[in-house]
Amino acid sequence: MKILFIGDVFGEPGREAVKKRLPELRKERNLDFVIANVENVAHGRGVTPKLIDDLTSVGVNAFTAGNHLWDQKEIIPYIANSKVLVRPANYNAEAPGRGALLFDVYSGVKVCVISVEGQRLMGNAVDSPFAAVDRELAQVKGRADIVFVDVHAEATSEKRAMGWHLDGRVGAVVGTHTHVQTADEEILPNGTAYLTDVGMTGPYNSVIGLNKNAALTRFTKQMPAPFEVAQGDARFCAVLIDIEESNGRARQITRIQDKVAL
């Protein structure tokens, strides 16, 4: 099964890059299932039900999020019953939504998408992502043919540790949040595809998606500046992972970073 994961879709440039590039990739790569991290899709902060519908219409099947999930308040009642949007599994148990969702892709083959958020340098009070992912795996044991995990975290070490923690137990572990694509894609010894960070789908003439002049004001003058999504130089960052349905292990992993003319 060919699964495409799209890294942190940032603001309008990111949304437009997905709308333009994804339908082409579906044909070029014969994709079976598409996941996107959308915690920054609404003006760089959070996600709305309408934007989920917009991206579904161009071929995204499942959605993950992270520390900005609750920034757009209309997502709170939506996620409680959503069958496509996964929240980090290590949030408080009373938080709306689920940390794992099961998708019937084709011919009875089921994919489980799990999301967890890192504890290091993230600023949120969350439980252990390692304990949380273990709980979710126990609940889907025997029901999922393929398991795909998004680790939304700042620390490279925490993402890397998760890869080793899950090697041989899931088909893929990919990282999000830092918005900079890493070049360490590999298939770990026991068959789990791994990439520390998928990167950002959005404006690269920026500071991780934000207007670079505003970001420079914050860094050089230690003064507040508007939170403004940058424009131009759109990139589509993703990772394509081919996973064997019979045993849930990865066969191939390929990084993608395409320039998209908007």
For 11, 70, 92, 106, 244, the CA distances from 4, given in Å and listed in that order, are 20, 25, 29, 16, 14
Angle at 231 between CA 227 and CA 234, to 5 degrees: 125
What single letter denotes the amino acid at residue 70?
W
CA distance 237 to 7: 6
68 classed as catalytic: yes
Report yes or no: 72 and 47 within 8 Å, Cβ to Cβ. Answer: yes
Instruction: Specify the DSSP class assigned to residue 71.
Output: G
Q: Which two tokens stand for residue 100?
A: 């794992």
For 81, 96, 255, the CA distances from 237, given in Å and listed in that order, are 29, 29, 8
Q: Which of 68, 152, 177, 179 is catalytic?
A: 68
Instruction: Specify the DSSP class assigned to residue 253.
Output: E
The helix, strand and coil proportions of the chain, stated in percent and rounded to the nearest 5, come to: 25, 30, 45
CA dihedral over 31, 32, 37, 40, signed as positive or negative = positive
Report yes or no: 146 and 62 within 8 Å, Cβ to Cβ. Answer: no
- What are the catalytic residues? 68
